């Protein structure tokens, strides 16, 4: 309890305190009330960071869960080298996000443009990370690449909990593969889908390391998330302003978490 208070509660209370001041992170300060909070409403940089963060979170949840359940279905099937393939697919989960991002930064900036130019693909001859309209695709790809293994493990656990007799009965009744998936597999793993969606959405809202190493929030501010915007205040003289931003973001996250927990309780599930 002492460690929890010292490392989490105390800093949170300090941040809330300084959010109603004009503290720049150094020097003197004075109270300004809710000035920082009202200024956020008219700040296009703040609004843009929130829009991109929620767009990335929603898109990543969809891509990760669709990909993960397809991979889990394949790894759960009776195929050769199943154990070895499972190990290969789970490798991204144990690698550092910052290391993964730097590797893909090199690939997107050097290897892919060189390869595209050699085969005549002009649109890909320049780095996608420098393209303001498409840099988010690279961020989404790398984010999903690391997150898919974790979601796959959860789906595999769900698939292995389904009795084989259920599939045998459906097969004898003439149900095809797609019908078995819609009528048996998906309904029986829907709880795992909900858990993956909730955990994934919460994690993607705090996206930081991968974007920092890939684009550093650029080009311009095209891929700047709320977490990056908040951290920019630590050395940019906007300490109090970004503390207010962090309090708002925390409140939004809490509300979303409570709604998700309420949904889980209605379905009789727990995380």
pLDDT single digits (tens) 232-264: 877 778 899 999 999 999 999 989 888 887 877
List of residues 6+ apart from 204 with CB closer than 8 A: 56, 57, 60, 61, 143, 147
pLDDT above 70 as % of the chain: 97
Which element (helix H / strand E) includes 269? none
* 133 within a domain of the structure (yes/no): yes
The structural domain count of the chain equals 1
Rg of the Cα atoms in the chain = 23
Is the peptide bond between 219 and the residue preceding it cis, with omega within 30 degrees of 0?
yes
Q: What angle do CA 74, 105, 230 make, to 5 degrees?
A: 100
Question: What's the CATH code of the domain at 149?
Answer: 1.10.3720.10
* 168 within a domain of the structure (yes/no): no
User: Taking the model in full, what pTM does it have?
Assistant: 0.88
What distance in Å separates the CA atoms of residue 55 and residue 270, rounded to the nearest whole number? Answer: 27
* 63 within a domain of the structure (yes/no): yes
Domain range spanning residue 202?
58-163+193-266
* 127 within a domain of the structure (yes/no): yes
Q: What angle do CA 114, 116, 122 make, to 5 degrees?
A: 115
Tell me, what's the pLDDT at 238? 87
* 247 within a domain of the structure (yes/no): yes
pLDDT single digits (tens) 185-218: 888 898 899 889 988 998 999 999 999 999 999 8
* 198 within a domain of the structure (yes/no): yes
Token pair, residue 30, equals 């004075």
Tell me, what's the pLDDT at 248? 94
* 175 within a domain of the structure (yes/no): no
* 1 within a domain of the structure (yes/no): no
């Amino acid at each position: 309890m002492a460690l929890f208070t010292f490392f989490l509660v105390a800093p949170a209370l300090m941040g809330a305190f300084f959010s109603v001041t004009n503290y720049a992170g150094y020097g003197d300060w004075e109270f300004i009330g809710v000035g920082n909070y009202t200024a956020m409403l008219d700040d296009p940089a703040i609004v843009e960071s929130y829009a991109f963060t929620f767009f990335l979170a929603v898109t990543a949840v969809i891509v990760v869960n669709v990909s993960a359940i397809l991979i889990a279905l394949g790894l759960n099937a009776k195929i050769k080298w199943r154990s070895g393939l499972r190990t290969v697919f789970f490798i991204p989960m144990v690698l550092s996000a910052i290391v993964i991002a730097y590797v893909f930064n090199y690939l997107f900036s050097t290897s892919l443009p060189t390869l595209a130019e050699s085969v005549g693909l002009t649109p890909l001859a320049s780095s996608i990370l420098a393209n303001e309209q498409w840099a988010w695709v690279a961020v989404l790809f790398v984010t999903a690449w690391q997150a898919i293994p974790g979601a796959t493990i959860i789906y595999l656990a769900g698939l292995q909990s389904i009795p084989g007799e259920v599939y045998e009965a459906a097969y004898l009744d003439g149900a095809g593969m797609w019908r078995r998936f819609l009528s048996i597999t998906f309904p029986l793993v829907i709880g795992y889908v909900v858990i993956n969606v909730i955990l994934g959405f919460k994690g993607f809202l705090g996206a930081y390391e991968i974007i920092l190493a890939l684009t550093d929030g650029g080009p311009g501010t095209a891929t700047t998330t709320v977490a990056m915007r908040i951290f920019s205040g630590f050395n940019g003289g906007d300490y109090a302003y970004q503390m207010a931003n962090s309090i708002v973001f925390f409140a939004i996250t809490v509300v979303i978490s409570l709604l998700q927990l309420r949904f889980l309780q209605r379905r009789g599930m727990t995380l």
